[in-house]
Every structure is written in structure tokens, then in C-alpha cells.
Amino acid sequence: MSTRRGVVAAAALATVLGSLTLPGSASATPAPSTRHVQKVGTGSYKVTGTGTGEPASINTELPRDAGPEANELTRSTARRPAGAHRSLAGARSAGPAGPATSGGVIRNGPQLLHSFDGLNQRDQRTANNGNQFTIEPPDQALCVGNGHVVEAVNDAFRVFNADGTGQTGVVDLNTFYGYPPVLDRTTGIYGPELTDPTCLFDPATHQFFLVVLTLESTRDGDLTGANHLDIAVAADPTGTWNIYRLDVTDDGTSGTPVHPNCPCIGDYPHIGVDANGFYITTNEYAFFGTEYNSAQIYAFSKRALARGDADVLVTQLDTTGADRGRNGFTVWPAQSPVTSDYERAAGGTEYFLSSNAAEEATGTGDYVSDSIVTWALTGTRSLDSASPRLGLSNTRVGVRQYSLPPAANQKPGPAPLLECLNDDPCATFLLGAPDPFKPEVLAALDSNDTRMQQVTYTGGRLYGALDTAVSVGGATKAGIGWYIVRPGLRGDSVRADLTAQGQLGLAGNNLTYPAIGVNAAGRGVMAFTLVGDGYFPSAAYAAFDGRTGAGTIYLAKAGLGPQDGFTGYKALVGDPPRPRWGDYGATAVDGSNIWIASEYIGQTCTLAQYEATPFGSCNGTRTALANWGTRISLIKP
């Protein structure tokens, strides 16, 4: 990589396209702006050694501020973005729950073609000679094409064959993107922190796109406030990727606009494509405060990125006030399984879905809504020109009420980290003193908030899902709300009709972090984690039809034990703990079949086994402080 550090987006082009007034908006949204972004080098898989995963010091595994806001064991300093994943933080009460369809679970359903373990916590912690941190959650990314199955997590990357064998080994994301280690455990020098990986394969350009959010730090581990999106593009994921770097601080740095409360963090990036463009959306929070601004949309020419142009244009659109005066939140761009699905009207159009129940959108904390939002970005063919001219519009779609889901209870089982913290000699060995919060308990898992999850556009319909409280089996549980929307255009403005919707739950259990994949024939699956009275965290999915929605629930792989990671215990993250799960799942269409990615727990061991093997590894199946795994499965709808 020719440029290893710093932000290298060029100065602004100063192309201002004029203010846009959205249907139903209280006022005009901020004007779009276009600027240059430069290619900063290349990245690729590199062979690195494997470390032991030994937690030599809790101080280099846990930040001093690892409270409910913390999503990773990464920093020994207190300068962390206070607003990141703000809507997920802390204890909240579940919202009102509507009735849900209760599906029965079928094991080893005939639709499951292949299923194998992806990356796990031990893989990522021991990568790059062990110069990594213990991290929760994995935030699993998945993209598939040209015979390659690509998975990225916080903070590692690997390419698989369809049968689960490796085309590459495991490489940490810092090495892949050309950065120094997040912590060099020999010198004690910190590098940048990479998070929130997301990827897709574009069927038109036959390119893979992999995006991460990078937070810059000092050598001592203080986060500086500088952060950027690193965009990697390649035809062969086992070869060389071109890397572009987009500054998202929005404080005037590197040609960015000047927004309130900034420097800001470009949190929760997600990506999509249409016939002309490649799109990234973020949630913009103050980096060192709690303020939320709005969702940001970044639009590129996907052909310029696919060619590897040294200099490309990006147009940024701000959704402040766009939803009838509410700010956009998690405005998720659509991706399509085949090129014939792209919307070519209005000079090319990219669609998005979002929800509007979260505090970031409403300004209140009730997390209840009876509408979702359909967005259209028109004029995308102009992204190939020197002066992109884009229009953004949205409309609300009435749906059944959805609300904040409760935390997902876990089936009890062997949890050696929990048991260690409750055993004074073991806790003293791990922490340096007995656990002051003893007795620790097995905590319920975070069930997301009400934000939209992965969006697919095919056959003239948009498919999306979100987490919601549902009433099933006489109790309020975490479940899924799913939606099928038919969008259209009147001139440059979007209209949308709801063609089907539903809420899915399972009595006594929880369904979390849905992702819908639908093929060109309108048949698909909805992937999610299943956890509750009857199941350890498991990789599951439901049959999904383009007309009738979700059906029977299948198990791709049953979990073997409870989640037993550091974010669930007061001694390690403070009171109250917030047991982190994945912030999103993923699906990828491969011809008529669909790949799904799910976090689950693929190991189990006792306290005796934990104490008998080096560094709590349980015979190499976990690390001392976490035990998450991922599962990758191929489904024939």
C-alpha cells in the first residue's frame, strides 16, 4: 500500500447541486456536494504468523472505559467515540408487541446444500502473530461470486471455496488494508482501529467491494477523532484490491462539509449498487459527544472504482430533516442479484429502505412506529460524468406497528468465563483480584434496535426486515418484522406500495438480526440467529417467498453452548453489562441459490477444561474472554 496512514481524500470539487425539497419534508435538506477521492494504494491477502491469544494483561485487552457503550476490547485509554451505536446502548424496556406468526423449527431441512464454520473469535484474536484484541461483536460480512466466498469480521478476513476449504488463510484487517497492527504487543505501539466490515459482489462489473470504518489513533492508543471509510475493490478477492479512502469527519477536513457537533464518526456503513453507482450510507454521530446528526449517503461511479481510476468523484447527500422533518437513520441501500433488476427510470435510480422508530429519527425514546421509509436516488447515470446531478426523494409506507425488542434470553449451559469470574482463585488469576461483582450471571443477548437491515431489490420489489418486539406463545420476545414494497417513480419523486408484510417469532425463543436474500425468480431465504429457552445461539433461516414472505424456520447449525463473552459480565465492562451480538447478518445470491451468514456459538467446554488448557482456549476452540463463531451456509430456495 503506497500510503499507509492519514486521510487522503483530495480537496473539494466545490460542485454544489442546489437544495432539494423532499415530499412531506418540513424544510429543504442540505445541498449535496461532490469532491474528489483518490486511490491510496492496494491491499491483498498476506501470510502472517499465528499468536497464542494469551491475555498477557487485562489492560491490553480491556479499555478503561469499557462500559455499556463499548463494542470492542480495543483501547487502554478513555478517548473513544461516545456516540457510536448510541441507539443500541444501555438497558431499555421492550416496546409494545403485536402478534407474530410462530414458526416451527425443522432440523436438517432439504434446502440446506452446504454449511461450514466461518471465522471465529480465536481466528481473529490470534491473527497477525497475536497483535489483535478480543472483540465483540464480529459484525459478519459476506459476499459471493466467481467461485469465491468472502467473509470479513471484526477484525479478520478470509476467502473460502464453496465446500468451506480455504482459498486463503486468515489475515487481520489492519494487515489487509496496509496498516500497522492495532497493537504491536512487542513495542506497545497502537495502530488504527478498523470496524464494521461490509461487502458485496456486483454482478455487472464482476467486482468485489469491501468497506470498513477506520478510526485513527496516536501511538499511545488515543483515538484522534479522524476517521474514514476504506473501500477495497477487486475482481479476484485472493489477489490485489485497489483501496480508496473517504474522509467522513465532516468538520471541513479533506474537503468534507462542515456539520454540527463534528468531528463526527461515519458509523454503521452499509453498501449497495444499481446500474451506475456504488453507494455507502452511514449514521453520523459526534465523535466525542452524544449528538446524532443524520444518515449520510455517498454515491460513486461504480465503473470508475471497477477500473481502478486514480481519482474518482463522490457525491454526499445529507438526510437531515428529510423524513417529514425527521432525520434519516440507517438508510440501507439496495443490492440486486442480477443486472436486469436495476431501476433505469429517471436517469437511473437506486432505492433504499429505512425505519423511523429509533431515537435518532424521532428525538424521543419510545422506539415505536407504524411506518417505514422508501427512498429513491435518481439521476445515477450522471455519476459517470464530471458533474453528477442527483435527486433524492422519499415516502412513508404504512406498516403494522413495530417496536424495540427485548433482550434475548439464553438457554443455560457451560459458561467457563462466567464460572471463572465467580471462582475467586480463577478470577484472581484472570483479573488480578476477585470479581467485585460476584456472582455474575448469564446475561441475555443484545437484540438490536429497530433499524432496517439488509435490503434487496429484485422483480420490481424491495425486501427488508428489522428487529421488533413480538407477542408469541403468551410472552413478549425478540422477533422479526419483514416487508415487501413495490417502489415506483413519478418524475423524479418516489412512490411506494406495501405488497406484503409480517412478523415472525418462535414461542419461548428469540429471532434476531435478520437478512433477506431473494433470487431473480423471487424465491429466497431470511437468515437470523435463533436463541432462547430451547436453543443456544444458533444459525437459522426461514423460507421466504417474494409474494407471501417468511415461512417455516430451519436450522442451518444448532449452537453448542451459550454466549460466554466479556461484554456480558460486569467485572469486564461495568454495570450494567451489554452482551453484544452481531450488529447485522448477511445474505448473498449466487445464481438461483443463496448464501447466508450467521453468528452462532460453535463450541462448548467446562471450567475444568478452560483452566486445564493454555490461556482458557478450551483446546483451541475459543479465547479466554470470548467464544463467538460464525456459520456460512448455502441454501436452495
Q: What angle do CA 256, 257, 263 make, to 5 degrees?
A: 75
More confident: 218 or 80? 218
Report the DSSP pairing between strands 332-335 and 193-202: unpaired
pLDDT average, residue stretch 603-612? 96
Q: In the prediction, which pLDDT does 5 show?
A: 25
Alpha-carbon gap, residue 295 to 248, rounded angstroms: 12
The per-residue pLDDT for 46 is 83
Residues of the chain above pLDDT 90, percent: 82
Q: What does pTM read for this prediction?
A: 0.92
Nearest alpha-carbon partner for 294 in 363, 220, 227:
363
β-pairing, 12-16 with 455-458? unpaired
Q: How far apart are CA 68 and CA 64, in angstroms?
A: 12
Q: State mean pLDDT over 597-604.
A: 97
Would the pLDDT of 603 be above 70?
A: yes
For residues 57-68, average pLDDT: 47
Cβ–Cβ < 8 Å for 23, 493: yes
- What is the maximal distance between C-alpha atoms in the chain? 71
More confident of the two residues 57 and 370: 370
Helix/strand/coil percentages in the chain, nearest 5:
10, 45, 45
Q: In angstroms, rounded to a whole number, what is the distance separating the alpha carbons of residues 471 and 268?
A: 29
Decide: 206 and 225 in contact? Cβ < 8 Å. no
Helix (H) or strand (E) holding 417: helix 416-421
| Chain center to CA of 104 | 28
- Beta strand ranges found along 166-237 (DSSP E): 171-172, 193-202, 207-217, 223-234
Convert 6-26 to b/e letters by CB count within 10 Å (16 or more is b).
ebbbeebbeeebeebebeebe
- Give the pLDDT band (50/70/90) at residue 108: low
Within 13 A of 32's CA, how many CA atoms are on the CB side? 20
Helix (H) or strand (E) holding 429: helix 424-431
pLDDT tens by residue, 507-566: 999 999 999 999 999 999 999 999 999 999 999 999 998 888 998 899 999 999 999 999
| Span of 6-20, 429-443, 492-506 with lowest mean pLDDT | 6-20
pLDDT at 72 over 70: no
Does the pLDDT at position 70 exceed 50? no
User: SS3 of 188, please?
Assistant: coil
AA letter at 82: A
3-state secondary structure of 310: coil
